[in-house]
């Protein structure tokens, strides 16, 4: 174990034998850090925070601080960070609000410098957040989402799988999977074709998803009628169903959808 002599580590911290801790790090009681994870200089980890294996955490990151929410009253909550995450300079990720609740970051994510993940957020795997992205509390970001630099995500937003959010966008509503949104306020611009192709989606499947998008956005029907038409016209492929079910769940829950065009 390589621990710089200037690091301040509470005796109750649980460290894997091959963790590396850089100069002037501060690690509080309740923290556990997994195998081969490396903390750069001036990293601060506190609260009931668990960090998985093979993570790289860079200068000045602050993980597990109390949430920025006036409802928080010091209850026990958690931050759980998975494996192989890259957390760059001065990223902040906060504990959850509510007894026993957790803010969760999955595996293989890249959070570039100065990003923020608020309380009670759940991020999946292979999420890429460019510099200065801010995610407000209680958001869900599904697998393989890309968030462009300085994008702002409103609280309680759900962003579906393999979505691309353009830089400097203002996202105030749910974003269906496989799509691209951009702007202030964000608007839908079609499928994330490049991302889908890189993910191995066939030309045929991409065409079916394009048809679903066209039916929902370009034809003059209300959302309920458009969903019925899409199910009638398109084959019940899992990805098509994922797209339609996401929109239906958002509609039934009364959530706003970023489906303007």
pLDDT band at residue 260 using 50, 70 and 90 as cut-offs: low
Q: Return d(Cα 104, Cα 130) in angstroms, integer.
A: 19
What are the tens digits of pLDDT across the range 215-255? 987 766 788 899 999 999 999 999 999 999 999 999 888 88
Q: What is the CATH number of domain 2-138?
A: 2.160.10.10
Q: What is the pTM of this model?
A: 0.95
Among residues 212, 204, 207, which one has the least CA distance to residue 241?
A: 212
What are the tens digits of pLDDT across the range 8-58? 999 999 999 999 999 999 999 999 999 999 999 999 999 999 999 999 999
pLDDT at 102 over 90: yes
Largest Cα–Cα separation, the chain: 67
- Between vectors from CA 160 to CA 239 and to CA 186, what angle results, nearest 5°? 125
CATH architecture of 197-252: Up-down Bundle (1.20)
Instruction: Confirm if 114 and 131 have CB atoms less than 8 A apart.
Output: yes
What are the tens digits of pLDDT across the range 111-123? 999 999 999 999 9
Q: Quick check: do 2-138 and 197-252 share a fold?
A: no
């Amino acid at each position: 174990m390589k621990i710089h002599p200037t690091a301040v580590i509470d005796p109750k911290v649980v460290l894997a034998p091959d963790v590396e801790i850089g100069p002037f790090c501060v690690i509080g009681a309740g923290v556990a850090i997994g195998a081969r994870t490396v903390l750069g200089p001036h990293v601060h980890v506190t609260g009931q925070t668990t960090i998985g294996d093979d993570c790289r955490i860079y200068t000045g990151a602050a993980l597990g601080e109390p949430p920025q929410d006036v409802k928080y009253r010091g209850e026990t909550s958690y931050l759980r960070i998975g494996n192989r995450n890259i957390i760059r300079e001065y990223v902040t990720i906060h504990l959850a609000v509510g007894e026993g609740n957790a803010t969760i970051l999955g595996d293989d994510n890249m959070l570039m410098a100065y990003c923020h993940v608020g309380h009670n957020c759940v991020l999946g795997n292979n999420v890429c957040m460019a510099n200065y992205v801010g995610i407000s509390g209680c958001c869900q970001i599904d697998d393989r989402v890309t968030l462009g630099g300085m994008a702002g995500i409103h609280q309680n937003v759900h962003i579906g799988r393999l979505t691309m959010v353009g830089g400097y966008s203002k996202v105030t509503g749910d974003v269906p999977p496989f799509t691209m949104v951009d702007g202030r306020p964000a608007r839908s611009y079609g499928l994330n074709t490049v991302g889908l192709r890189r993910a191995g989606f066939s030309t045929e499947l991409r065409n079916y998803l394009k048809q679903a998008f066209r039916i929902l956005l370009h034809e003059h029907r209300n959302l309920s009628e458009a969903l019925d038409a899409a199910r009638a016209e398109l084959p019940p492929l899992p990805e098509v169903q994922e797209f339609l079910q996401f929109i239906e769940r958002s509609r039934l829950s009364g959530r706003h959808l970023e489906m303007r065009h």
